[in-house]
Amino acid sequence: MSDPLPPLAVIPPGMSSLAAYEARAAAHMAADAWAYLQEGTGDDITVAENRAAFDRLRLLPRILADLRGGNTALELFGRCHETPVMLGPVAYHRLAHPEGELATVRAATALGVGMVVSTLASFTMEEIAEAARAAARELGVPVPPLWFQLYLQEDRGFSAELVQRAEAAGYEAVMLTVDASIKRATLTLPAGVEAANLRGMPRHRQTADAGGRILFGTPLADSAPRWSDLEWLRSQTSLPLIVKGVMAAPDALQALSLGVDGLVISNHGGRVLDGMPSALDVLPSIAAATGGKVPLLLDGGVRRGTDVAKALALGASAIMLGRPQIHGLAVAGLAGVAHMLHLLRAELELTMAQLGCPTLADLRPDRLFPQL
């Protein structure tokens, strides 16, 4: 088995789409790290469904629209985003590039794109925030919105400490992931890669005990987040609180009743339970149930600007990118991530123009076929 190629210093020829980055990235990552990134669980039915849902949906252009003053800007939690695209939380960026999340956040800063930093980042949240501020000073641009993604720890005191650190470091929202507290561990981290934010924090072992228990009755299951934990977390911070991993309207409504400020419609990229529907397919029911009370974000399968337009037409406020940021990072580091983001925004603007939608608010169900 050959060693992975080093990241390139410049964008290679032929990188004209996110798919091109994905095709090239495998050669730049160790085989086990690539498998960890790309694979879902089971037979990868949900991974395939995430893409198929976008491909099934057709777009219906409207002609002769006035595109003057067109833009892709939106406001989320009091901050202006230049585009309805954020980098979602992905663990261990150093699996793809030595500079890991530091390179990723510098690219996000250059493109004015918000980033959600994972609890399992391979640099600390403080280091990543400082890298964003340094890049913003160097480029003379604003620091992009930075949010912190939280996996609740078995000791809730450590979870509170993580939230306090995020507040102190200047993060503007907390995103609680609720769908992945119980999942298979499939990767042994190589030397030099760790969950930097969790240094010094005890982690329970996800193994069966001597009594023969597999999952139920083990610390892993017993400490899994419950609705009471969400209520507790709401009391721990005044930052906007977003829940990631919502796939059913009743759960969305219960989260809102506990004071949640936003929801991420997500099946965790097909990584936790095979056989789930795509996030795109359940989005309309959740949008109808919540009635615009809070922003809805979506992730899972987004690879084209047309995908972004489809998600927004069905009720999403914005989308989050997961795997594509690692593809760009593995191929060409900071430049690869920045170029990938530029490609997606350019595709979105072209799509909006062809649909006769100068603003995001114009992306409505009547731009889809059959009309929804």
Catalytic residues: 268
In the DSSP assignment, the letter for residue 148 is E
d(CA 173, CA 238): 9
> Of 354, 366, 367, which Cα lies nearest the Cα of 64?
354
> Which pair of tokens denotes residue 4?
């992975």
d(CA 182, CA 192): 25
d(CA 351, CA 222): 47
> Which pair of tokens denotes residue 249?
């309207």
d(CA 35, CA 16): 24
Residue 116 burial (CB count, 10 A)? 26
DSSP letters along 37-97, please?
Answer: HH--STT-HHHHHHHHHHHH-EE----S---TT----EEETTEEESSSEEEPP-S-GGGT-
**For residue 59, what are the β-bridge partners?**
368
> Of 113, 124, 174, which Cα lies nearest the Cα of 149?
174
> Which pair of tokens denotes residue 305?
């600007």
Is residue 88 a contact partner of residue 320, using CB atoms and an 8 Å limit? yes
Q: Identify the three-state secondary structure at position 262.
A: strand
> Which pair of tokens denotes residue 83?
């585009």
How distant, in Å, are the alpha carbons of 85, 143, 261 from that of 303?
A: 11, 25, 27
63-73 as b/e, with b when 16 or more CB fall inside 10 Å?
eebeeeeeebe
Is residue 270 a contact partner of residue 40, using CB atoms and an 8 Å limit? yes
In the DSSP assignment, the letter for residue 188 is P
